[in-house]
Structure 1
Amino acid sequence: MSITIAQMKAVEALARTGKFSLAADELGITQPTISSQVQAFERLCSRRVFIRNGYTVQLAPGADELLAKIRITLKCLADVDEAIGVGAQLTMGSLSFGFSAHRLVMNSLTAFVQKYPNVRLKTHGGPSLKLMEDVLSGALDIAAVSMERPDSRLYCAELSRSRVMIYGRKGHPALQNGFLPTQALAQEKLVLWNQSSGTRKLLDQAAEQQNFKLNCILEVSTLDVAYASAAAGIGLCCAIEGEVQADENIDVVPLEPKLEIGHYLVCLPECRDHAAVNAFLEVAGCQETSFTGAIPKA
């Protein structure tokens, strides 16, 4: 007896929703059916996939890799269904897309929606390292992330390379020379992204190489909170060039020596040729931006 598509759909829906009732509603079947399909899947796998806790469930330790394979398989099947039903025009389907800096990918998002209006596009913002884990688990099809260099676990298409900028309250003494020496950060109170941020990771590495520790007095996870903190004078913040602009509230300068970070579209290598993923990569490669770099030709 083999694992069925229905069983894989039941497992994937339950892992994502965390409840049998929600998974059943999403798939349009009864809760007992979901339960029996998941139990059958676990018997065939000879392993526990979920840990039950009353009305909710969570993935059992070590089940992440299995779930990622299920999601990849279901995505491939969806591509086959689309090819059979509507040809290669990409007139249906879905794409889950994550981003760490929306301003750097808005042109690509806009172009994709305009070119493929019938593809359901679901977006999710978050820090780069978390988004990469979501891609590896199959929770996201593709993501735009910031990191120093490509990750060997993923297909990585470079969108741009940008300077790391420092910004703070208008008139801050350290920001009046048009640049800020990296070593000068040792004397400043800082508002930094959390540890899942690619920019934070790069800044930590730069400080370590110059033998000092960053004085982080506040960690943030959203750009609006970072901006408000800088404008209020709580501390200096870091950003990718283009994320923030100097205005009546803040000054923005680059670090010296120049510190650069890459901005990449990433997906699982085995998902590179999925119709919607490939379409997004192609659309992104056609966009003109104010940043250098381009997606390698497939």
Structure 2
Amino acid sequence: MRSTVAMRYFQLRAFDAVAREGSFTKAASLLGLTQPAITTQIRNLEEDCKQALFVRTNEGVHLTDAARPLFELTRQMFSTEEQIEDMVSQATMFRHGSLKLAADGPQVVLEVAAAFRERYPAIELSVSFGSQREVWDDLLEYRVDVAVIGNAKSDARVASIPVARQDMRVLVARGHPLAARKSVSLADLDAYPVLRREAGSNTQRLVDDAARHAKVALSTAMKLGSREAVVEAVRQGLGIGFVLERETPDGKRTVAIPVDELRGCNIDSVVCLHSQRKRAIVQTFLDIAATCASV
């Protein structure tokens, strides 16, 4: 009987890890196992459940509809286990443990992470980056413990602490007709083709909303999949782009100009699921984020 219970525990742990990571390989790394071992655990669990738990595609691994209730239960189960581990860690002032973070930009999250590491250097921090939509999905799917995101939408499942407010800047190449301006309006940009960000980008959404409100139709030079690509394309004279205040690159080849309609448009917040906030290490990270707040 004990052996059966132990087998089921490891199957559920493997299932929970694959569901969180969206990958058998990443789940194996998370649990310190080989990928074949994870595959075997999942196959045995699917046989016991008499149904498929995952859909495997070229984009990754996704839960079937039938598996979602099981994932909710395993999250409760392993979140409780994590809370127990946190209590033990807290008793020793977080002398071990880990925290997974995600963000839609590096500046704010790394500022808070630095403050956290200064107090708890033994905690292993990992940070992933993506669009606002990707980071939000990672949070809701339990792939990360805490996220730092711009203009986080209100959600009853999520606790949020605003930490920084930023202006939007239009980025132009040195020598551009607007380069000497101290500020511009969106109407001033009407004649210049814009380098657009990928779908799900918080930056692009803010620009599109402001342009729509101002009744300005900005033309598109090309669409690019990252902030870094936009900066390089501006340097190459391929168009103008938009970056948030803290993301402004050095001024050797570009100039960043405040946009009148987009001052203070972005509020970065540290967010977590309410269920994760019960973990002492997560709550401590939020407490430290609050001390870093400049909103």
Q: TM-score, normalised by structure 1?
A: 0.82
Secondary structure at the aligned position of 2:259 is classed as strand
2:283 maps to 278
1:121 maps to 125
Distance 2:26 2:271 in 1: 33
- Given that 1:148 and 1:198 are in contact with CA atoms closer than 8 Å, whether structure 2 keeps it comes out as no
- Given that 2:203 and 2:243 are in contact with CA atoms closer than 8 Å, whether structure 1 keeps it comes out as yes
Q: Note the 1:43-82 alignment, pairs <5 A.
A: 43-44=48-49, 47-51=51-55, 58-62=61-65, 63=67, 66-67=70-71, 70-71=74-75, 73-82=77-86
Per-residue deviation, residues 100-126 of structure 1 (Å, max 9, x unmatched): 221223221112122212212111011
2:190 maps to 186
User: Higher mean Cα deviation, 157-166 or 23-32?
Assistant: 23-32
Aligned letter for 2:40? Answer: S
The alpha carbon displacement at 1:174 in A equals 2.5
Distance 1:79 1:71 in 2: 12
1:145 maps to 149
Secondary structure at the aligned position of 2:143 is classed as coil
The alpha carbon displacement at 1:262 in A equals 1.1
Change (3 A) 1:195 1:37: closer
Distance 1:163 1:24 in 2: 39
Aligned letter for 2:61? Answer: Q
2:272 maps to 267
Secondary structure at the aligned position of 1:105 is classed as helix
Aligned match for 2:257, one of 249, 253, 256: 253
1:98 maps onto 2:102 in alignment: yes
The alpha carbon displacement at 1:97 in A equals 0.5
Q: Report the number of matched residues.
A: 288
The alpha carbon displacement at 1:196 in A equals 1.4
Distance 1:21 1:162 in 2: 34
Distance 2:30 2:282 in 1: 27
Aligned match for 1:83, one of 70, 83, 87: 87
Change (3 A) 1:148 1:207: farther
Per-residue deviation, residues 31-84 of structure 1 (Å, max 9, x unmatched): 46852555336745x65312368xx98324434675465345423312203424
1:131 maps onto 2:102 in alignment: no
The alpha carbon displacement at 1:152 in A equals 4.5
1:204 maps onto 2:211 in alignment: no
Change (3 A) 1:33 1:114: closer
The alpha carbon displacement at 1:244 in A equals 0.6
Distance 1:287 1:24 in 2: 32
Distance 1:147 1:248 in 2: 30
Distance 1:159 1:65 in 2: 34
User: Higher mean Cα deviation, 260-269 or 140-149?
Assistant: 140-149
2:10 maps to 6
1:110 maps onto 2:104 in alignment: no
RMSD of aligned Cα (Å): 3.3
The alpha carbon displacement at 1:159 in A equals 0.8
Secondary structure at the aligned position of 2:199 is classed as coil
Change (3 A) 1:6 1:168: same
- Structure with more helix by fraction: 2
Distance 2:282 2:27 in 1: 27
Distance 2:142 2:152 in 1: 23
The alpha carbon displacement at 1:166 in A equals 0.8
Distance 2:9 2:34 in 1: 14
Distance 1:10 1:92 in 2: 22
User: Higher mean Cα deviation, 112-121 or 76-85?
Assistant: 76-85
1:229 maps to 233
Change (3 A) 1:166 1:67: farther
Distance 2:266 2:195 in 1: 19
Change (3 A) 1:133 1:94: same
Distance 1:177 1:25 in 2: 50
